[in-house]
Amino acid sequence: MVQIIKPAEAVQFFQNKQTIMIGGFLNCGSPELVIAEILKTNMGEWTLIANDTAYPDSNRGKLICAGKIKKAIISHIGTNPETVRKMNAGEIEIDLEPQGTLAERIRAAGAGLGGILTPVGIGTDVAKNKQIIAVDGRDYLLEKPLRADIALVYATYADRFGNLAFAGSTRNFNVLMPMAADVVIVEAENICEEPLDPNNVVVPGIFIDYIVAGGSDGAK
């Protein structure tokens, strides 16, 4: 069985200068409680891998505003003016990736691949300093895998074996990231005493190291 911990206990796995993946799409399917705990620490200088930097007053956006992030590998920053300000001021390094490319780079790490080939970005600034490989007369960018020290993700349901299930679009990046990190912490809205129906499992428990109780239970 996977160990169930409190949000504050998750802090022990974080260190300065780590690469951290955080699931969620804006405020949908984001691990709020653990983020709140790491905000209380003096740690930082993290590289963030995520879909976006959310809003200034929510989840990943709070980490940006608190100066915890030195670099963000991201597909969207437009909803967080502080990310834009910091980027323009040279206070944070931003690596903007096409959203599909970002997802596939994470998936490639989880699958043990050496990278992916994509035509997206050919002829644009995205292609700068990247290797171009021709296949059947068409050029592709070689995009290398993205792996992290820690993946912090959300799930709607988790059983005590670490199997995860999701409601609606909360799947987003929460499905890909557990396969691409050394330590995986899931903040689960509901922890089920009985094993999840195998037909409903989206992420198998083999990828999960720790479960944090989310919702009202986790806030206690």
127 in a structural domain: no
Residues 207/184, Cβ–Cβ less than 8 Å: yes
Confirm whether 126 is domain-assigned.
no
Q: What stretch of H or E contains 116?
A: strand 116-118
Q: What is the share, in percent, of the chain residues with pLDDT greater than 90?
A: 95
pLDDT beyond 60 at 32 = yes
Residue type, 190: N
20 in a domain, yes or no? yes
List, for residues 138-197, the tens digit of each pLDDT value: 999 999 999 999 999 999 999 999 999 999 999 999 999 999 999 999 999 999 999 999
* 218, pLDDT greater than 70: no
| Domain count along the chain | 1
**133 lies in a domain?**
no
In a domain? residue 219: no
Per-residue model confidence as pLDDT tens digits over 48-70: 999 999 999 999 999 999 999 99
Please indicate, yes or no, if residue 103 is contained in any of the structural domains: yes
- pLDDT average, residue stretch 103-122: 97
Q: According to the model, what pLDDT value does residue 214 have?
A: 84
Looking at the predicted structure, is the pLDDT value of residue 220 above 50?
Answer: no
For the chain, give the mean pLDDT.
Answer: 95
Cβ within 8 Å of residue 105, ≥6 positions away? 97, 115, 116, 143, 144, 145, 146
Is the residue at 44 inside a domain?
yes
116-144 pLDDT tens trace: 999 999 999 889 999 999 999 999 999 99
Provide the residue range defining the domain that includes 186. Answer: 3-114+149-214
Whole-angstrom distance, CA of residue 140 vs CA of residue 102:
15
pLDDT value of residue 217: 53
44 confidence band (pLDDT: 50, 70, 90): very high
Question: CATH number for the domain including 187?
Answer: 3.40.1080.10
Q: Is residue 208 included in any domain, yes or no?
A: yes
